[in-house]
A and B are shown apart, each in its own frame.
Chain A
Amino acid sequence: MRRLPVLLVLGLIVLIGFVFSLTAGKVWVPLSAWGSGDPRWWIIVELRLPRALLGLAIGAVLGLSGAVLQGYLRNPLADPALIGVSSTAGLGAVAAILMGLGAAPLVLFGSAMAGAAAAVMLLALLVGRSGSALAFILAGTVLQSLAGSITAFLISIAPNPFATAEILGWMMGALTDRSLEDVVRALPFMAAGCAVLALTGRSLDLLSLGEETARSLGVRTGRLQAVIALGTGLAVGSAVAVSGVVGFVGLIVPHLVRPLVGQRPSDVLLPSALGGAALVLFADSLVRLAPGAEEVRLGIAMALLGTPFFFALLLRFRRSHAWA
Chain B
Amino acid sequence: MGLSIERLTVRLGQRTVLHDVAAELLPGRVTALLGPNGAGKSSLLRAMLALIPVESGRVLLDGSDMAALDARTRARRLGYLPQSAELAWNIPARSLVELGRAPHRSPFAGLGEADRAAIGRAMALTDTVRFAERLTHELSGGERARVLLARVLAGEPDWLLADEPLASLDPAHQLDMLGRLHGYAAEGHGVVVVLHDLSHAARIADDVMLLSEGRLVAFGAAEEVLRPELLEQVYGIGFERIGVHLIPTPPARVPHSPAGR
Q: Which residues of A contact B (CB under 8 A)?
A: 71, 74, 199, 202, 205-210, 212-213, 215-220, 262-265
Contact = CB atoms under 8 A, between A and B. Distances in A.
25 contacts: A74-B88, A206-B99, A206-B102, A208-B86, A208-B91, A209-B96, A209-B151, A210-B82, A210-B84, A212-B51, A213-B86, A215-B71, A216-B79, A216-B82, A217-B100, A217-B102, A217-B103, A217-B155, A218-B72, A218-B103, A220-B71, A262-B91, A262-B92, A263-B90, A263-B91
A210 B86 contact: yes
B215 interface: no
A66 to B, nearest CB: 15
B78 interface: yes
A12 B229 CA distance: 74
A209 B71 contact: no
The binding surface of chain B is classed by DSSP as: mixed
Contact of A208 (B75, B89, B100): B89
Contacts of B76: 218
A216 B75 contact: yes
Contact of B51 (A199, A207, A215): A215
Contacts of B90: 263
Contacts of B99: 205-206, 208-209, 217
B91 A217 contact: no
B252 interface: no
B116 to A, nearest CB: 15
The binding surface of chain A is classed by DSSP as: loop
Contacts, number: 74
Nearest to B101: A217
Q: Which of A205, A208, A216 has the most CB of B within 10 A?
A: A216
Contacts of A199: 107
B86 A216 contact: no
Interface of B: 46, 49, 51, 71-72, 74-76, 78-80, 82, 84-92, 95-96, 99-100, 102-103, 107-108, 151, 155
B71 A218 contact: yes
Contacts of B108: 202
Contacts of A205: 99, 102
Given A205-B99, A206-B99, A216 B49 contact: yes
Given A202-B102, A206-B99, A218-B75, A213 B88 contact: no
Contacts of B86: 74, 208-210, 213
A231 to B, nearest CB: 16
Contacts of A216: 49, 51, 75, 78-80, 82
> Across chains A and B, which 10 residue pairs bring their CB atoms closest together, nearest first?
A210-B86, A216-B80, A74-B88, A218-B75, A263-B89, A218-B72, A208-B88, A218-B71, A218-B103, A208-B89
A109 B76 CA distance: 46
A264 B89 contact: yes
Given A213-B85, A219-B71, 11 more contacts: A208-B86, A208-B89, A210-B84, A212-B51, A216-B78, A217-B75, A217-B100, A218-B71, A218-B72, A218-B103, A262-B92
A264 B87 contact: no
A216 B85 CA distance: 13
Contact of A202 (B46, B95, B107): B107
Given A207-B88, A217-B75, A218-B72, A212 B82 contact: yes
Contacts of A209: 85-88, 96, 99, 151
Given A212-B46, A216-B78, A218-B71, A264 B102 contact: no
Contacts of A220: 71
A264 B82 contact: no
Contacts of B88: 74, 207-210
A218 B89 CA distance: 20
A215 B99 CA distance: 12
Contacts of A208: 86-89, 91, 99
Contacts of A219: 71, 102
